[in-house]
Amino acid sequence: AQTVTQSQPEMSVQEAETVTLSCTYDTSESDYYLFWYKQPPSRQMILVIRQEAYKQQNATENRFSVNFQKAAKSFSLKISDSQLGDAAMYFCAYKRQNYGGSQGNLIFGKGTKLSVKP
Amino acid sequence: NAGVTQTPKFQVLKTGQSMTLQCAQDMNHNSMYWYRQDPGMGLRLIYYSASEGTTDKGEVPNGYNVSRLNKREFSLRLESAAPSQTSVYFCASIRTNTEAFFGQGTRLTVV
């Protein structure tokens, strides 16, 4: 079974600085997707960034980027120029690729709570 | 552009009471899911429905039942609520080979 591990329950960053959140996963499959979701106090789950395993290039979305190391099964999230609005729970998630039928399940890590200091 | 609509947002139940959480999506997704979120546990899958007319158990199905009423709607029922079911519940749907879209969550307290 696939598992996702986030080893940092809490992280803190100074406003305008850079922070990296760690995620490792375990799978025997070669085709899959990885995601980072943000959950602010409003409770809404917001997609931050996604990465397809077949793509060697790391995904980027404005101030958010990932370091995807497929062989090491590592998928870290880097937040540059941190803003107060970045304070939230961040969840790493894995989903296998599907070839029709069920789209499979999103498997989540336990989350990292990020605080941003002004 | 409603996406995934989940009701209610908050609910307090007494032990032994029953209730149904409603979820509807307007994105024509085949697959829908119910998760629960507990502190320090991330999101854990309760049940999912790969397509209309099918449902399967997830990681923590005990004490819950589901119904996939049609392609749009997927409900979660607690027949006899227990304090251990105090949690935040999320409904989600997944587009083909891409990310999940989530409802706004239901905070359920069982006293």
Contact indicator for A105, B48 with CB cutoff of 8 Å: yes
Residues 17-76 of A with CB under 8 A from B: 33, 35, 43-45, 47, 50
Cis-peptide, bond into residue B8, ω within 30° of zero: yes
For residue A98, give the nearest of B55, B97, B95 by alpha carbon: B97
pLDDT at A102: 52
pLDDT at A103: 56
Greatest extent of chain B over all pairs of C-alpha atoms, in Å: 40
Interface probe, candidates B5, B33, B37, B44, chain A, greatest A C-beta count within 10 A: B37
Beta strands B19-25 and B74-78 are antiparallel
Contact indicator for A60, A46 with CB cutoff of 8 Å: no
> How far is A16 from chain B, CA to nearest CA, in Å?
28
Q: Is pLDDT of A101 > 70?
A: no
Report, as an integer, the average pLDDT of A19-25: 98
Question: Of all residues in chain A, what percent carry a pLDDT higher than 90?
Answer: 84
Contact indicator for B109, B86 with CB cutoff of 8 Å: yes
Write the pLDDT tens digit of every residue in B22-49.
Answer: 999 999 988 899 999 998 888 999 999 9
Q: Specify the 3-state DSSP secondary structure of B80.
A: coil
> How far is B29 from chain A, CA to nearest CA, in Å?
10
Closest partner residue to A44 (CB to CB) among B29, B96, B104 is B104
Reported as half-sphere exposure (CB side, CA atoms, 13 A), residue A49 has a value of 20
pLDDT at B105: 96
For residue A80, give the nearest of A61, A54, A106, A99 by alpha carbon: A61
Average pLDDT per block of 10 residues along chain B, 111 residues long: 89 97 94 93 91 90 95 96 97 83 96 97
